[in-house]
Amino acid sequence: MKSCVQCLCAFGLLWAGSLLATDYHVDANPPIQNIGDVPWAGLQAGDRVYIHWRAAPYLEKWVINAVGTEQNPIQVIGVNGPQGQQPVISGNGATTVPGVNFWNEPRGLIKIGGSNTPDNDIPQHIIIENLDLRSARPPFQFTNDGGGTETYSNNAASVYVEIGQHITIRNNTIRDSGNGIFVGANGGQTQDILIQNNHIYDNGIEGRFFEHNTYTAAIGIIYEGNRFGPLRTNALGNNLKDRSAGLVVRYNWIEDGNRQLDLVDAEDSSVLVNHPSYQTTHVYGNVLIESEGQGNSQIVHYGGDSGTISDYRKGNLYFYNNTIISTRSGNTTLMRLSTNDETAHVFNNVYYGTANGSSQALVDGNGVMNYQHNWLKSGYSDCHCTPSGFVNDLGNNLTDTEPGFVNLAGQDFTMQSGGDLIDQGMAILPGLLPDHALVGEYVKHQSIRSRVVSGDLDIGAYEYCGDLSCDLIFADDFE
């Protein structure tokens, strides 16, 4: 009887919470025709703000500093137009919404955390979904909460998470800003970030290396299902740059940038450096593309770049079942490991370049790479140098001139029947299971489907589908 009463009480609390939640619709109809008409300073758990598409962009910017719960998150959701258009929110000429007061206004279009009004210490359980967020960068200007005119900083972001926990950024288009997404560690208080199914491209500042499509630092962050495109013309930043503890990058499409992945030290947070998850990084099931003319010939950098070597990651990078494509005419290097204290476990990957195999190398010089069950182009080398680290061939690597993609020119990196990659992978290392089992694969674009394995794992980001079209495996059954 006691347990039944407890269940009824718990249900009653959840039911009461849902009754108190409010849906706000920003559209052409009164009383909420502008984003600023929403009471942002008073949002409660379970509240949902629906921003409906209109032909003209919304020129408004704001802070979210509210506290939701796991069962009742606070959601900001774009509602598509008649042709599927996402609502556009532009920072170029935007005005800060009334009723809020916060610092670091030049840093973002939508800011999470860090305000006087409202004054919560740590916003939690926030979802931002299905919006087109753009144009937070110089020379663009905005009107701040005091009515003055300011110019965005170089490192402004479409979404700037100053502090927050259990934050989801999902299915948005994020472009034309200094950083597309910026997440700050805030002394380790920023935790549990999910960046999922977004299209992130055209960010960065011309002539500068310091701004990126995403730039993140947190305890516990997952990137999955995202499409990363090239940065803005003449911007020199990386595509995905991260300084987190507990980083997972899985089932993404990451094309171009100075490097596709720049996974370096938590230069501003001793809490992250000392966190148990800091020395273990997981990168799997991704498509990584390096085009001719991109700035750096390295695909992945793992370790550190601050110069404080004691803070470098000095741990294990698990890099498996990725498909890496280079169309450079010159050299390509798969990975730069910053010091000999960084170790990369590299297995079940396809590493293909259109240039001669001799142009492809595994490492830049330092570190330990243990590699096995990969497909590599004939003629590849350990390094375009004499390595100062260790490159350990653990066996069962395949070499050939072509891996047997369905359509390389059309960027269809699934496999032809009878291809070299089929059933040639190794089982996922037991220590990675169950949390990092290979259960999904990227779908062009911005989706994930379940990976259906028959026999042994295939090499690369895709599993051969047999006589059926891979499209017949439903994309929405992935969890």
Q: What is the pLDDT of residues 455-477, one digit of tens each?
A: 999 999 999 987 655 555 444 55
Q: DSSP assignment of 340-384, as one string? A: TT-EEEEES-EEEESS-GGGEEEESSSSEEEEES-EEETT-EEES
User: Poorest-confidence range of 1-5, 22-26, 443-447?
Assistant: 1-5
Mean pLDDT of 44-51: 98
Mean pLDDT of 421-446: 97
User: What pLDDT score does 18 carry?
Assistant: 52
User: What pLDDT score does 466 carry?
Assistant: 75
- Residue 6 pLDDT > 80: no
Q: Take residue 163 and report the two structure tokens written for it.
A: 């502090």
Contact 373, 348 (CB under 8 A): yes
- Residue 107 pLDDT > 60: yes
User: What pLDDT score does 2 carry?
Assistant: 43
Tens of pLDDT, residue by residue over 399-424, are: 999 999 999 999 999 999 988 999 99
User: What pLDDT score does 478 carry?
Assistant: 62
- Residue 312 pLDDT > 90: yes
What are the angstrom distances between the C-alpha of 432 and each of 60, 248, 274, 319, 440?
44, 12, 21, 11, 15
Tens of pLDDT, residue by residue over 244-301, are: 999 999 999 999 999 999 999 999 899 999 999 999 999 999 999 999 999 899 999 9
Q: Going by DSSP bridges, is the β-strand pair 149-151/88-90 parallel, antiparallel, or unpaired?
A: unpaired
- Give the contacts of 189 (CB within 8 A, at least 6 positions apart): 122, 163, 165
Q: Take residue 301 and report the two structure tokens written for it.
A: 């950098």
Report the C-alpha gap between 63 and 42 in whole angstroms.
12
Q: How confident is the model at residue 19 (pLDDT cuts 50, 70, 90)?
A: low
- Residue 10 pLDDT > 60: no
Tens of pLDDT, residue by residue over 127-184, are: 999 999 999 999 999 999 999 999 999 999 999 999 999 999 999 999 999 999 999 9
Tens of pLDDT, residue by residue over 204-248, are: 999 999 999 999 999 999 999 999 999 999 999 999 999 999 999
Closest CA to 166 of 119, 116, 113, 207: 113
**Region of residue 301 (phi > 0: left; psi between -120 and 50: alpha; otherwise: beta):** beta
Q: Which residues pair with 62 in a beta bridge?
A: 110
User: What pLDDT score does 330 carry?
Assistant: 96
User: What pLDDT score does 387 carry?
Assistant: 87
Report the C-alpha gap between 156 and 173 in whole angstroms.
16
Within a 10 A sphere around the Cβ of 207, how many other Cβ atoms? 8
Name the fold adopted by 21-398. Pectate Lyase C-like (2.160.20)
Q: Which residues pair with 245 in a beta bridge?
A: 219
Q: Report the first-to-last Cα separation within the chain, whole angstroms.
A: 36
- Give the contacts of 424 (CB within 8 A, at least 6 positions apart): 373, 375, 396, 398, 456, 458, 459
Mean pLDDT of 428-442: 98
What is the residue-averaged pLDDT of the chain? Answer: 94
Instruction: Phi first, then psi: give them for residue 117, nearest 5 degrees.
Output: -135, 110
Q: How confident is the model at residue 1 (pLDDT cuts 50, 70, 90)?
A: very low
User: What pLDDT score does 5 carry?
Assistant: 45
Which strands sit side by side in the sheet containing 398-400, from one edge to the other?
A: 88-90, 132-134, 173-175, 199-201, 227-228, 253-255, 287-290, 323-326, 350-353, 375-377, 398-400
User: What pLDDT score does 327 carry?
Assistant: 97
User: What pLDDT score does 471 carry?
Assistant: 55
Tens of pLDDT, residue by residue over 63-105, are: 999 999 999 999 999 999 999 999 999 999 999 999 999 999 9
This prediction's pTM: 0.94
Q: How confident is the model at residue 383 (pLDDT cuts 50, 70, 90)?
A: very high
What residue ranges do the domains of the chain occupy?
21-398
Q: How confident is the model at residue 20 (pLDDT cuts 50, 70, 90)?
A: confident
> Radius of gyration over alpha carbons of the chain, in Å?
23
User: What pLDDT score does 475 carry?
Assistant: 47
Q: Going by DSSP bridges, is the β-strand pair 149-151/141-143 parallel, antiparallel, or unpaired?
A: antiparallel
User: What pLDDT score does 268 carry?
Assistant: 84
- Residue 13 pLDDT > 80: no
